[in-house]
Structure 1
């Protein structure tokens, strides 16, 4: 992965291959989205109450977000064709809402957010105002998402010269 292949032809039309090693860089080579080091990260947990029942596809997609970069999570939702439009928009809102909160309150860059853990818990709550004989339940899903994020020190604006 750290080698570049140069192909040259000499005057006699004989092919010559020269392998030259690249200098290591501070960037992650081949891994554009690296998981942050433990000393650099902070975490924030969000609890989202979804009124209704999630489909099996939506549950599978949400459970696949464990230890995943936020961009890949959004990409997974965008390219799932089995979701209806209402559930599709709801899953995007579940991810966008905490991300916007982190950006506005902690000045976190969109590319510095990872999903650490996600938990789904389904429950039902009986309707107290209806008679006891009818068993009508209000179903809901509680979604707990734990995000890792990395903050950078804001750059100081330089004073003007005049």
Structure 2
């Protein structure tokens, strides 16, 4: 919070509030996450097969993640899909698994990950031997997520004195 509320009473005994802006203690306080410079970023693409049907809300949320910081994307999913906990948990699992892969395989910090692009491809698989297609359709989605992350120079560990 950048504002401090002061409660005062006027002469007519009505309560009112005055907002006064306080000084920032650090340079990064109150600022959004800094978008990385082009020389610092590396990208990685993941394709996930999602077996269940995606709702229109979930598709809209996933398509809104273009050039979005990962923390904000997770916050959007938690807020927008709070009335549908099963789908929320499935979408979070789709997002968490590539993030954990980036952390484990490339030592990427969670706070250095952005989503560049999200593509959703709906595929229906039919049974070639049956004539009625309505009963044999199996729908699933391919969700392609392109992440980019900030690469940092590893910190050199100091040798002990003894």
TM more than 0.5: yes
Aligned to 1:114: 114
What TM-score, normalized by structure 1, do the two folds share?
0.77
- Root-mean-square deviation (CA), in Å? 1.9
- C-alpha distance in 1, partners of 2:29/2:36? 15
Larger radius of gyration: 1
Structure 2: unaligned runs, 5 residues or longer: 1-23
8 A contact 2:62–2:118 mirrored in 1: yes
Q: Which has the higher helix share?
A: 2
Residues 53-106 of structure 1: CA distance to partner in whole angstroms, max 9, x if unpaired?
100110111111111000000011111245422211111011101110110111
Structure 1 unmatched ranges of 5 or more: 1-21
Within 5 A, what are the aligned runs for 1:15-54?
30-54=30-54
Q: Distance in 1 between matches of 2:116 and 2:161?
A: 46
Cα distance in 2, alignment partners of residues 151 and 83 from structure 1: 37
TM-score for the superposition, normalised by structure 2: 0.77
Mapped partners of 1:85, 1:30: distance in 2: 31
Q: Kindly report structure 1 stretches of 4+ aligned residues shifted beyond 4 Å.
A: 27-30
